[in-house]
Amino acid sequence: MQTIIHTVQVMLALALVLSAQIAGAATFYVSPAGYDSSPPWCGAESHPCKSITKVLEAGGDMTILVARGTYDEHVGIRGNRKITIQGGWNAGFTTQSCDPSQTVITAPPDMVGDQLITVSAYSQDSPFGPKDLEVELDCLRIQGVPEAVRLGIFVGSGGDGSRLLFAMQRSIVRGFQEGIFVSARSNSSLEFNLETTEIHQNSSTGLTLRALYGATLAFQANRVRLSDNGGNAVAGAATGLLLTTDRGMIEGTLKNTIITGNSAPEGGGALQISGLDAIGDPLRDDVTLTLTNTTIHGNHQGVHGGGLRVIAAGAKFIKIRIRNTIIWGNTAGGSDADVVVKVFDPAARAEVTARHSILGNVNVPSGVFTDLGNNLNADPRLDSEQHLTFPSPARNAGICGSYRTINGIPFYIRIAPYDDFDGQNRPGFGVRYGCDIGADEFFGSLAPIYLLLLGE
């Protein structure tokens, strides 16, 4: 009798999951102790599936709650869908506690292919036509097996009208040859957002962003750490972050981001912006990047540009804005260890501006570097985790915001993020000066000076 009752309960639970799927608002459940089948035969809270891949085969929009454990599988997401995958859930799916090291996706022993996670929106995929895909990953550790899997996550869009939105937060990508490769091509649009994520110990490049043939790629990174990538990087490639275009457009921001411990034989040790397009090509080829409260320190490059390397060729236009940022203490085989800007063709332009930042060696043999004031060349006195120490000249040396008057009314324009890499508060709304330079806001035994002055 108990067996019959249990069977009826399971069938009712599965029926609810299936009806939610049909209604377009499905939530599925995955557990290492789940059932090795596909929806509708599994996926309910009381009857979870064992595989993320099997759940995705159900089709449609969905949220997948993943219990803590290890999942040996390749995950592929394609088509016109909205997918959210959340790790960190307990076995009963009652609470989520986000320690990304406890929910692991890694390669199965018999995996064929070189990408562990594939997210793609290509018009040529069946059914043919523009794709609209949104994917969010939360609280996951994407763990590599370098000898078996080259790339951790591939994110790609292509074809007229195709759109891809990818967001990842509270996660780790480590142990691959390449961590994440993002590619927008053929007049598509791609938005890529990283939040509170670590890309760590990949043997080549940590993160690559590429726009080709009329595509646009917008990205934002906040509270991201790119560290200890490289060692086996190919010549010409960055090992922390690489931005490259060929008749495409990239616009991005780095906030509260730490890039450290990366090494490359050539290319930028920490960050490289480069590419080549044909002079006179009607397609625009632009890169605009803003670095705000970012720390680039302790990276190495075998030739030039251990920190930031900007290469403009063809008809490229590259514009870099540096604010409240540390680019210091990087090394290179040549003399231009921290910042190097080079333009190789008359039609190309590269412009770098900096304000309220700490910059080490800056070498601009071609291109334009504009010092907008309040920059320092001094040891930022960072600890091993890239936090500011008490004697750091970066303390209180940054800009928090500014005021602009429109029709006689002053408006406050915020520049520094309201919190730092660790989630600690910076000086608040309305404050102009006193934020720290870099990804970290220093907190010692005393309250920050702006709080003492405000009496808080």
Structural domain includes residue 145? yes
Structural domain includes residue 259? yes
Structural domain includes residue 419? no
Structural domain includes residue 211? yes
Q: Which two structure tokens, joined as six digits, stand for 319?
A: 């514009």
Q: Domain of 268: which CATH number?
A: 2.160.20
* Gyration radius from the chain CA atoms: 24
Q: Residue 350 sits in which domain range?
A: 12-393
Of 211, 204, 210, 147, which is closest to residue 179 (Cα–Cα)? 204
Per-residue model confidence as pLDDT tens digits over 400-410? 999 999 999 99
Q: Which two structure tokens, joined as six digits, stand for 155?
A: 């994110």
Distance of alpha carbon 124 from alpha carbon 277, whole angstroms: 25
In this prediction, residue 18 carries a pLDDT of 44
Question: Which of 93-102, 192-201, 248-257, 311-320 is least confident?
Answer: 311-320
In this prediction, residue 254 carries a pLDDT of 98
Per-residue model confidence as pLDDT tens digits over 29-61? 999 999 988 888 999 999 999 999 999 999 999
CB 296, CB 259: distance < 8 Å: yes
Structural domain includes residue 418? no
CB 95, CB 65: distance < 8 Å: no
In this prediction, residue 155 carries a pLDDT of 98
SS3 11: helix
Beta bridge partners of 155: 119, 182
For the chain, the average pLDDT equals 88
Per-residue model confidence as pLDDT tens digits over 157-208? 999 999 999 999 999 999 999 999 999 999 999 999 999 999 999 988 999 9
Average pLDDT over residues 125-152: 90
Q: Is the pLDDT of residue 354 over 90?
A: yes
- Tell me how far apart the terminal alpha carbons of the chain are, to the nearest angstrom: 66
How many domains, in total, are found in the chain? 1
Structural domain includes residue 314? yes
Question: Which of 314-323, 357-366, 415-424, 435-444 is least confident?
Answer: 314-323
CB 248, CB 280: distance < 8 Å: no
CB 219, CB 191: distance < 8 Å: yes
Structural domain includes residue 441? no
Question: Which of 2-16, 256-270, 280-294 is least confident?
Answer: 2-16
Distance of alpha carbon 305 from alpha carbon 363, whole angstroms: 9
Q: How confident is the model at residue 15 (pLDDT cuts 50, 70, 90)?
A: very low
Question: Which of 217-231, 296-310, 425-439 is least confident?
Answer: 296-310
Structural domain includes residue 7? no
Q: Is the pLDDT of residue 454 over 70?
A: no
Angle at 231 between CA 340 and CA 101, to 5 degrees: 110
